[in-house]
Amino acid sequence: MISYFPTCCLWCESTHDILDDWQICRRCHEDVFVNSFINSVNKIPFYAESFSSRYLFNGSLREMIIKWKYNPSPEYTRPLGMAALTSWGMESINFDYIIPVPPHIERLKERKIHQTLLLAKWIGNWFGVPIFYDIYRTKRTPSQTALTRSERVENLLNSFAVEKSRMLNHKSILLMDDIMTTGATLRNLISVVRRANPRAIHVRTIAYNQIRKSL
């Protein structure tokens, strides 16, 4: 008989007290997720129908996301997906499409995986919602990390484009990313998707970076 659950924790490799749905042990669940959870970050900093980001990008969660994003370590999609499911409040929202924030093709070649797409597929399989693939970056933007808020906005100007936009007409969209700092990337992408006349855009990220001063 084939087992689809790990015999040890993905994070610390302990074999004790494994939470099957999360594929990590109870102690690591506490360390990575419970300690980073915040009561609510639901203020909508975009022209969107809803927004939620319920974890701080710090501590062990920060380490996991960085490994998942840059190493790459696709196995962490499962616990991060469970974190999304249990915190995003999506049960009452019907989505027609999921749109993960796309990387530039050159950056994708460097990283080898599109980690946000992996998460989007995981969420999509859970809810039975398809991915909308026909959106892409039109230019490779420098890293946002060391930029000011105004520099981030300028950096991302006109950096996305949508093909087959008619497919989004009057549809409900889940737009998702891993981390939000100033929201410049999401704000730019939302403005592009809005041109396709969707019925609603709901924005979700796993974590937000507390270094931002304001939205």
Each residue's pLDDT tens digit in the chain (215 positions)?
Answer: 334 455 799 999 999 999 999 999 999 999 999 999 987 665 666 789 988 888 999 999 999 999 998 877 889 999 999 999 998 887 778 899 999 999 867 776 677 778 999 999 999 999 999 999 999 888 665 555 555 555 555 555 567 899 999 999 999 999 999 999 888 889 989 999 999 999 999 999 999 887 644 44
Cβ–Cβ under 8 Å, residues 93 and 172: yes
Asked whether the bond before 130 is cis by omega within 30 degrees of 0, the reply is no
Domain assignment of residue 215, yes or no: no
Per the structure, the complete domain to which residue 65 belongs is given by: 38-208
Q: What domain count does the chain have?
A: 2
User: CA 92, CA 104: separation in Å to the nearest integer?
Assistant: 33
**Composition of the chain by helix, strand, coil, percent to 5:** 35, 20, 45
**CB count, 10 Å around CB of 5?**
10
Domain assignment of residue 19, yes or no: yes
26 and 107 assigned to the same domain: no
Give residue 15's region: left, alpha or beta (phi > 0; psi -120 to 50): alpha
CATH of the domain at 89: 3.40.50.2020
User: CA 37, CA 58: separation in Å to the nearest integer?
Assistant: 10
Which residues are within 8 A (CB) of 192 and not within 5 positions of it... i.e. 6 or more apart? 135, 160, 161, 162
Centroid of chain to Cα 129: 16
As a whole number of Å, the end-to-end CA separation of the chain is 51
pTM of the predicted model as reported, rounded to 2 decimal places: 0.84
Q: At what angle do helices 115-127 and 77-87 cross, to 10 degrees?
A: 60
68 and 5 assigned to the same domain: no
Cβ–Cβ under 8 Å, residues 60 and 29: no
27 and 99 assigned to the same domain: no
18 and 98 assigned to the same domain: no
pLDDT, residue 179, reads: 92
Percent of the chain with pLDDT over 70: 80
pLDDT, residue 106, reads: 75
pLDDT, residue 24, reads: 96
Domain assignment of residue 96, yes or no: yes
User: CA 75, CA 113: separation in Å to the nearest integer?
Assistant: 12
100 and 157 assigned to the same domain: yes
Nearest to 214, CA basis, from 145, 149, 144: 149
Domain assignment of residue 213, yes or no: no
164 and 71 assigned to the same domain: yes
